Amino acid sequence: MPDPCPADLARYLAGSTGLPQQTAVRVVADVIAYFGETVEDFVRRRHLELRRWHTNEEIWPLIAAELGQRRFAAPRLSQRQLRRIVYG
């Protein structure tokens, strides 16, 4: 399993921003978790957040628009799938 916070990225962030190392590690881990969210998890989370102030009729178009602006974690691919991408 990959490191949830690449040490070199945390060091770079700490050095370029002046953040303490521990804070930089937490920021990097938070950003990785944010971008690691699946489509399904994002939709569930946003629906839960939005339903406090909006009806479902208002929520679905908002979520659909937000989906187009987000990046989602790539699925795990086997070596065969990777080869098919390159040579397929």
Q: What is the rounded radius of gyration, in angstroms, for the C-alpha atoms of the chain?
A: 18
- Can you give the pLDDT at residue 4? 66
Output the six-digit token pair for 50.
């939005």
Give dist(CA 60, CA 25) in Å, integer.
Answer: 35
Neighbours of 10 (CB within 10 A): 21
Mean pLDDT by 10 residues, the chain (88 residues): 76 96 93 86 93 94 90 79 83
For residues 82 and 54, the answer to whether their CB atoms sit within 8 Å is no
Output the six-digit token pair for 64.
């659909």
- Can you give the pLDDT at residue 24? 95
